[in-house]
Amino acid sequence: QVQLVESGGGLVQPGGTLTLSCAASGSIFSIYRMGWYRQAPGKQRALVASITTGGTTNYADSVKGRFTISRDNAKNTAYLQMQMNSLRPDETAVYYCNAEATDYETGTIGDYWGQGTQVTVSS
């Protein structure tokens, strides 16, 4: 199985900065696109930012210029980070790490999710 473990969530004041991290492990043959999604109470999960193996990034319009996604690729694993600047109260949500990866045990490409990390923006 492929596992994704997030860290770095917490409470931050409006206008503050927080960095989320995600580590991929398990029976990984290869990891392709990775990304961060968020889900606020009563709302659907939505893409925040994504990054390909080659480093091409994609951001939701609302976070462009404030959030930066990055990744480090290693043999059979990857580390994903996202620095979030100038955070706003309406960005309070559970943030999820997502990855497309080939599981060498099954030989198939799957879509994997972390357990989520809470980000609360409040004074």
Q: In this predicted model, what pLDDT tens digit does every residue of 51-104 receive, in sequence order?
A: 999 999 999 999 999 999 999 988 888 999 999 999 999 999 999 999 999 988
pLDDT of res. 56? 97
pLDDT of res. 86? 98
Question: Which token pair is 20?
Answer: 């989320």
pLDDT of res. 77? 87
pLDDT of res. 75? 82
Amino acid (1-letter code) at residue 82 = M
Residue 106 above 90 pLDDT? no
Tell me how far apart the alpha carbons of residues 123 and 109 are, in angstroms, rounded to a whole number. Answer: 42
> Which of 123, 122, 121, 111 has the alpha carbon at shortest distance from 45?
111
Residue 105 above 90 pLDDT? no
Phi, psi of 91 (to 5 degrees): -95, 5
Q: Distances in Å between the alpha carbon of 61 and those of 24, 26, 46, 47, 81?
A: 27, 33, 12, 10, 19
Q: Determine whether 89 is exposed, middle or buried from the number of CB atoms within 10 Å of its CB (0-12, 13-18, 19+).
A: exposed
pLDDT of res. 37? 98
- Note the pLDDT tens digit of each residue in 13-49: 999 999 999 999 988 888 999 999 999 999 999 999 9
Question: Which token pair is 101?
Answer: 């990866």
